[in-house]
């Protein structure tokens, strides 16, 4: 009797241990890590003072709330170029913010990625426009792109997206950076330079209204230089990562709207990320925009998510947009 009781206790312990081990093993979802826990995804953003980082935090919350067995976390970085370089390192648990033009340069191995193409990046979708703004002081007399000739103009840091856009726009007007007195300044330095009169104009790539430009316009009369429609069309035909953009009347106290172009902020990932996971993340983001706690939420829509994207879409994102009835350019 005692032996039977002892055997019963041993069998009971084995059964209990089996249940515990099964529970620890977790499910078989592709979104789980190998140890059964959640899959961790780094959402590479930008500096803490910019748009990417706070928006990335909001998107991470949406992913965590709507995709099973995933834990996404926004990480502050040096933004687009650094994010593309990080994605080249072979980690398939990364989603990154970048500009559409920077993604194109990385994929092609041009400009700041000269000779070092990053061939594993794929698009999830566009988010919001980052406008190419040519800001000039009224005292400079600059009204057109041609008027920039001989003037002191900031075109952003060497190797930056702003620098590349400045060269593109000057190019469609038959000009080069040799036609201007170049200054390589960031947004804050550019607006300070215009305020104190050391520079005449600056190329600034950012969502509008841009805080630095608003602050400048409050103390210094400015002009936003527009682009003619045929030049916009030419630029987009040559560089499909650009999109037309209108800076509305009233922005920076403008008396009339100004036509220009934009690149888009977008999300990208690696080709090695699981297709179902990318599908679920894409669906979560574009179908829960009402939960995005950021003013850029108004721009994030499935129908505009393919604008300006010239790199290949990840199959998971492509599947979502096709189901949503969004035509994806091939």
In a domain, 197, yes or no: yes
Find the Cα–Cα–Cα–Cα dihedral 65, 66, 67, 71, rounded to 10°.
Answer: -20
Q: In CATH, what number is assigned to the domain containing residue 305?
A: 3.40.190.10
Q: Total domain count for the chain?
A: 2
Same-domain status, 144 and 240 = yes
Q: Percentage of the chain surpassing pLDDT 70?
A: 89
What does the DSSP 8-state code read for residue 40? E
For residue 34, the model assigns a pLDDT of 55
In a domain, 168, yes or no: yes
> What is the C-alpha to C-alpha distance for residues 269 and 188, in angstroms, rounded to an integer?
31
More confident residue, 283 or 17: 283
Give the predicted TM-score (pTM) of the model: 0.78
Sign of CA dihedral 328, 131, 182, 47: negative
Same-domain status, 295 and 199 = no
Same-domain status, 79 and 228 = no
Specify whether the CB–CB gap between 262 and 242 falls below 8 A. Answer: yes
Specify whether the CB–CB gap between 182 and 190 falls below 8 A. Answer: no
In a domain, 135, yes or no: yes
> What is the C-alpha to C-alpha distance for residues 191 and 195, in angstroms, rounded to an integer?
6
Last residue of a domain, which of 247, 263, 279? 263
Same-domain status, 148 and 259 = yes
Q: Residue 2: is its pLDDT beyond 90? A: no
Same-domain status, 138 and 258 = yes
User: What 3-state class would DSSP assign to 281?
Assistant: helix
| pLDDT level of residue 212 (50, 70, 90 thresholds) | confident
Same-domain status, 317 and 276 = yes
For residue 31, the model assigns a pLDDT of 54
Q: Residue 192: is its pLDDT beyond 60? A: yes
Query: How many other β-carbons are positioned within 10 Å of the β-carbon of residue 281?
Result: 30
78 is in which domain, residue-wise? 39-128+266-323
Question: Cis ω on the peptide bond leading into residue 245 (within 30° of 0)?
Answer: no
């Amino acid at each position: 009797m005692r032996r039977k009781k002892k055997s019963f206790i041993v069998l009971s312990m084995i059964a209990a241990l089996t249940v515990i081990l099964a529970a620890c093993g977790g499910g078989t979802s592709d979104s789980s890590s190998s140890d059964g826990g959640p899959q961790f995804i780094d959402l590479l953003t930008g500096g803490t003072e910019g748009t990417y980082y706070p928006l990335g935090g909001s998107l991470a919350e949406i992913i965590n709330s709507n995709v099973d067995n995933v834990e996404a976390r926004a990480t502050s970085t040096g933004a687009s170029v650094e994010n593309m370089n990080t994605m080249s390192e072979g980690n398939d648990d990364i989603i990154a913010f970048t500009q559409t033009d920077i993604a194109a340069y990385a994929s092609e191995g041009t400009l700041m990625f000269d000779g070092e193409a990053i061939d594993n990046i794929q698009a999830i979708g566009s988010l919001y426009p980052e406008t190419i703004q040519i800001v000039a002081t009224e005292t400079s007399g600059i009204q057109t792109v041609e008027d920039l000739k001989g003037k002191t103009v900031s075109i952003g840091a060497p190797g930056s997206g702003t620098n590349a856009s400045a060269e593109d726009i000057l190019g469609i007007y038959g000009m080069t950076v040799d036609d201007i007195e170049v200054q390589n300044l960031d947004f804050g330095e550019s607006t300070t330079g215009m305020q104190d009169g050391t520079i005449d104009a600056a190329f600034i790539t950012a969502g509008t209204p841009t805080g630095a430009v608003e602050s400048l316009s409050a103390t210094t009369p400015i002009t936003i230089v527009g682009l003619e429609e045929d030049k916009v069309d030419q630029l987009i035909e040559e560089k499909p990562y650009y999109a037309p953009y209108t800076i509305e009347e009233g922005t920076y106290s403008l008396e009339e709207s100004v036509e220009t172009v934009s690149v888009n902020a977008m999300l990208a990932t690696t080709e090695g990320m699981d297709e179902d996971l990318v599908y679920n993340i894409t669906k979560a983001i574009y179908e829960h925009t009402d939960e995005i706690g950021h003013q850029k939420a108004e721009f994030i829509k499935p129908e505009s998510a393919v604008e300006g994207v010239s790199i290949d879409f990840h199959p998971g994102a492509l599947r979502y947009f096709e189901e949503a009835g969004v035509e994806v350019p091939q």
